[in-house]
Amino acid sequence: MLTIETINCFYGDFQALRDVSMHVPEGKIVSLLGPNAAGKSTTLRSISGIVRHRGGRIVFDGQPIGSSKPEDIVEMGIAHVPEGRKLFSTLTVKENLEMGAYSRRAKPKVKANLEKMFALFPVLSERRNQVAGSLSGGEQQMCAIGRGLMADPRLLMIDEMSLGLSPILVQQMFAMVRTIAASGVTILLVEQQVHHTMAVADLAFIMEKGHIVLSGPTREIAGHAHVKKAYLGM
């Protein structure tokens, strides 16, 4: 589905990504793990067209997208839920969700997809007319993911979903990831909650200092000595 081949990214003179290569197969949950400032968020921004890469290429369903505009990438079926949720705080929950359905592929399905979001996140149905800025952190994250799903994506990228959430809410959010994946949406998950992420992901990539240092099936990665010591506390 999505293939990244030896891309590099820079912020001025600082190189954030170094020859990054990844493959996200259709129908899988794929995790991108690593410490702060490793380049995980930059990888997602590169895929969604927010940050331009140098060299290499990014291919979605056989089509190079490295030079595509972000809105065109959304039309192709890729949605990006950014770190920090980035909701419109003065708009209602319903209005925030509807903002995710601006693409041509999603507009005909707005009503049906709204009902799907309210079924997936019942608390959002209860708060549909409440402004997003008054929601709890967990509710805001649900709204952000729901807004991404309103784009009717084939690939959903979620950046630091568990950031700032209580342990109970973290468990709930990862259970929702399973539910979303079961509906047929491929997921690329950037996280620091390594234990929870490895429990749901099919494949894992470990990124350090802008470079992929390990990759493979999650069970194999979880058993690697470096991962046990650096990420799992074993």
Identify the CA nearest to 24 among candidates 181, 220, 227.
181
Is 50 inside any structural domain?
A: yes
Q: Write the CATH number for 35.
A: 3.40.50.300
Is 138 inside any structural domain?
A: no
CA distance 46 to 77: 15
Is 122 inside any structural domain?
A: no
The answer to whether 164 touches 85, Cβ cutoff 8 Å, is no
Is 233 inside any structural domain?
A: yes
Is 56 inside any structural domain?
A: yes
Residue 84 confidence (pLDDT)? 87
Number of folded domains that form the chain: 1
Residue 232 confidence (pLDDT)? 86
Count of CB atoms within 10 A of residue 175's CB? 12
Is 171 inside any structural domain?
A: no
Residue 135 confidence (pLDDT)? 95
Residue 138 confidence (pLDDT)? 93
Residue 233 confidence (pLDDT)? 80
Residue 14 confidence (pLDDT)? 97
CA distance 186 to 31: 11
Is 103 inside any structural domain?
A: no
Identify the CA nearest to 156 among candidates 136, 176, 134.
176
Kind plus residue range of the DSSP H or E element containing 136: none
Q: What are the mean pLDDT values of the chain's consecutive 10-residue runs (234 residues total)?
A: 98 97 98 96 98 97 96 97 93 97 91 96 97 95 97 97 92 95 98 92 98 97 92 81
The single-letter DSSP state of residue 203 is: E
Residue 194 confidence (pLDDT)? 92
Bridge-based pairing of strands 186-191 and 155-159 is: parallel
Identify the CA nearest to 141 among candidates 114, 123, 129.
123
Domain residues for 10?
1-77+155-161+188-234
pTM for the complete prediction?
A: 0.96
Kind plus residue range of the DSSP H or E element containing 35: none
Q: Which residues of 21-57 are buried (b: 16+ CB within 10 A; e: fewer)?
A: ebebeeeebbbbbbeeebbbbbbbbbbbbebebeebe
Is 200 inside any structural domain?
A: yes
